[in-house]
Structure 1
Amino acid sequence: MNNQERGEIRAAVADVWRRIDTWLGEHAPAMLSGLGGPASPEEIAAAERDLGLTLPVDFAASCAIHRRVALNGVLSNIWQGDVSELAKWRDDSLDEGPGSSNDPDDEIRRDQEWRRGWVLLDYEPDGSSVILDLDPGPDGVVGQIIYMDQACIDEVISRCWLDELRDFADELEADRYTYDPSKSSLCYRTGSRSH
């Protein structure tokens, strides 16, 4: 990837975050507190050093805008722990990861309990997780987003972080979400869920 392509990706990430931030500011300003401030280039470099991996351009660009993403009630896959904690979350998962699978490798490598190239972005107590995959299978793409359902590798849900952000922005702008102030959370409007 050349510098021009990297610049275009960074610009696309900035644009989609402008869309998300604008919608939240107009319709759910209390939710903005769930978005962390920008991570510095040094903090992103430290996260990469701790992970022993290079973050995809789109994900690093997103962290440079919002270092963490925690939006209550959102049925989306854009939750993300603070960039400074990604290596710790991944390393904790290496100790507790799911069992290996007999399924053949395709987009996802399935031959180990947990891969060092899987960067945990979000997890639930039931073992469900959203993972940034930096070590994909032969048919996969570096930076794809994997969903793990209750500690069982499930599927690739997106080819990249930017696609997840775009999908979320599109859903916001299509009025598929409503803000519930009593719960301080975003909820899908009845009958509007698109995926």
Structure 2
Amino acid sequence: MARSWARIDAWTRRNAPASYALLAPPADPVEVEAAQEAMGVRFPADLLASLACHDGITEWANLLPGQPPMSVAGMVAHWRMCVEIAGDDPDLTQPHGDGEDDEPWWHPQWIPWAQSDGDSQVIDMREGPGQGRLGTAAHDETGRFGDGWPSLAVYLTAVADALDHGGEADDMAPYLTPQGELWWDFPGETELNGDPLTPAPPADGTPGRG
């Protein structure tokens, strides 16, 4: 995990300094421990390692192909909001089908690590073979893990690989804006709000695959 963030840091520092400047310093270990107690769930090793690199970002940015990472405080706030909304309502706390991928709207053992407009990427800490997997919990849909990632570590490695070697992560490709920002969008895009998007240059000089 530290290696993946070091690669992302190095790439953004060199190619997207405006985005690099938004990466927060490491999280306070005391705050991380308090968050785990407040949420009643232990964080997986890869999330702890990620927070030891960056406590999210200081303001919204399209830094990752999914939602932007939150601070520890933001994670706790979003978790509490979802738990309070779900309450004891079976329509929100129970799956409504009998399929393998049926999920509730929210589960208290989901850790929201990234969020935008109420939609979050969550780490599933329920007991079982899927523990530690990364999925999504949209504000108007049930949770989804079938098209997610086995872990946060695998996801961030894919992000670092896309930046270093070209290609995609989460079906999104990296670009640069004229303002020196990293921007993830669908492959083949050429502009954003009328401004040109430049395919992100891979660190190793190989042509991008996206």
SS in 1 for 2:176: strand
Match for 2:96: what amino acid?
Answer: N
Indicate the residue corresponding to 1:180 in structure 2.
Answer: 177
Letter in 1 for 2:21: S
* Mapping for residues 122-133 of structure 1, pairs under 5 Å: 122-125=114-117, 127-133=118-124
**Letter paired with 2:176:** Y
What is the one-letter code of the residue matched to 1:152? T
**RMSD of aligned Cα (Å):** 2.7
Mapped pair 1:28 → 2:16: yes
| Other-structure match for 1:5 | none
| Partner Cα separation in structure 2 for residue 27 and residue 61 of structure 1 | 24
2:75 to 81, 86, 103: 86
Asked if structure 2 preserves the Cα contact closer than 8 Å seen for 1:71 and 1:186, the reply is no
1:57 and 2:49 aligned: no
Tell me the secondary structure at the aligned position of residue 154 of structure 1. Answer: strand
Shift of 1:75: 5.6
The sequence identity of aligned pairs, in percent, is 21
The CA distance in 1 between the partners of 2:63 and 2:28, in whole Å, is 26
Q: TM-score, normalised by structure 2?
A: 0.72
The answer on whether the counterparts of 1:71 and 1:185 sit within 8 Å (CA) in structure 2 is no
Give, in angstroms, the shift of residue 182 of structure 1. Answer: 3.8
Aligned to 1:15: 3
Matched, 1:158 2:153: no
The TM-score with structure 1 as length reference comes to 0.76
Letter paired with 1:37? P
More moved, 147-156 vs 35-44? 147-156
Cα distance in 1 for partners of 2:137, 2:20 equals: 27
Cα shift at 1:26: 0.9
Shift of 1:68: 0.6
> Partners of 1:75 and 1:159 in 2: how far apart?
17
Q: Distance in 1 between matches of 2:55 and 2:4?
A: 15
User: 1:74 and 1:193, CA in 2 relative to 1: closer, same or farther beyond 3 A?
Assistant: farther
Give CA deviations for 1:4-63 in whole Å, capped at 9, x if unaligned: xxxxxxxxx111111110000111011012211001322221111111111001100110
The structure having more radius of gyration, on CA atoms, is: 2
Taking structure 1 as reference, are residues 94 and 107 closer, same or farther at Cα in structure 2, changes over 3 Å only?
same
Instruction: Check the 8 A contact 1:78/1:164 in 2, yes or no.
Output: no
Task: Give 5+ residue unaligned stretches, structure 2.
Answer: 167-172, 190-207
What SS does the corresponding residue of 1:119 show, helix, strand or coil? strand
Q: 1:105 deviation in Å?
A: 6.2
SS class of match (1:123): strand
Q: Secondary structure at the match of 1:34?
A: coil
